[in-house]
Amino acid sequence: MDASTTVLRVEKLCVAYDHPLGAVRAVDDVSFVLRPRERFGLAGESGSGKSTMALAILRMIKPPGRIEGGEVWLQDTALSGLADDAIRRLRLAGIAMVPQGSMNSLNPVVRIRDQIADALADHGSRLSRREVADRVRSLLMQVGLPPEAAGRYPHELSGGMKQRACIAIAICLRPKVIIADEPTSALDVVVQRQVMETLGRVQQQLDAAVILVGHDMGLMAQFVDRLGIMYAGRLVEVAPIRDIITAPRHPYTRMLIDSLPSLEHKGRFVGIPGLAPLLRELPPGCAFHPRCPMAEARCRLEKPAVRAFGADATAACHLA
């Protein structure tokens, strides 16, 4: 996979958090690529490291966390080599993020149009007032908000509308990559669908790629093209979404899919026994082996390496 066919490339990224009892690896040796116009999902439960991953791509890890190793390429540019204000300019313009709970982080005393205008101005746009107003109007239209929303304050909008306003801010500089971290977790199912539809539509209009971080597998199944599964900081499997659902390679993926309640038929309640490990008390060998029904002696001793299966899939399991 060379640079020309990928818009984002993450290679062996490691993020550690310093802790008085010892450093903890929140993201451990993660590698994946994002193709142009692709929808890539990053799924995992709480503590899997997926949100940290998203922040690390944008170099937004704050102390006591730090990027310990690895590299992120945006097309041909290696992000670790950029100076501070170069990476600042890249955020929103090159890679945009809709962070978790962003609808609650909108400035409550600033109108929507000014929040968008601030984002534009902050990145050195020298548009006249009329041009800014036009841009705001077209952005709102793109995300399906009525033009009156421009003059409103965040508390005057509903949850779904606020989230769409956040998407509007995220796309105002036409980024190549949009990272959406749990964009719909606080929203009703009906509104969720509207917001995801909006996200999909603006992505296509911008010819951008999307990384959707979340834990709702149904959402992933209906939205993404390829899915990565994170567990205890590692990317244990990546594959096209069809294959993840029908033929998962990693036992965790398989058990996760099996545990999901379906609307087709009533079944037994099958969960994954045990608990996700604390990152500072990881078991030896494969982090999943204590909960894995197929664990062998090798799994207890040796951490499985990430192996490729064709051009599109990887899995980190001795038995895959």
Interface residues toward another protein, by CB under 8 A: 20, 45-46, 188-190, 192-193, 196-197, 215-219, 221-223, 241-242, 245-246, 255-257, 259-273, 275-276
Q: Is the peptide bond before 240 cis (omega within 30 degrees of 0)?
A: no
- Say how many CA atoms lie within 13 Å of 293 toward its Cβ: 9
CB nearer to another protein: pick between 127 and 278: 278
Q: How far is the CB of 255 from another protein (least distance, A)?
A: 7
CB nearer to another protein: pick between 85 and 264: 264
CB nearer to another protein: pick between 155 and 265: 265
Tell me the residue type at 120.
L
* Most distant CA pair in the chain, distance: 68
Measured CA distances, 227 to 200, 268, 311 (Å) = 16, 26, 14
Q: How far is the CB of 122 from another protein (least distance, A)?
A: 30
User: Which pair of tokens denotes residue 163?
Assistant: 């989230």
The SS3 call for residue 154 is helix
Q: How far is the CB of 170 from another protein (least distance, A)?
A: 21
CB nearer to another protein: pick between 13 and 255: 255
CB nearer to another protein: pick between 3 and 278: 278
The answer to whether 76 touches 125, Cβ cutoff 8 Å, is no
* β pairing state of 307-309 and 313-315: antiparallel
Q: How far is the CB of 41 from another protein (least distance, A)?
A: 12
Q: How far apart are the C-alpha atoms of 290 and 27, rounded to whole Å?
A: 20
Q: How far is the CB of 12 from another protein (least distance, A)?
A: 27
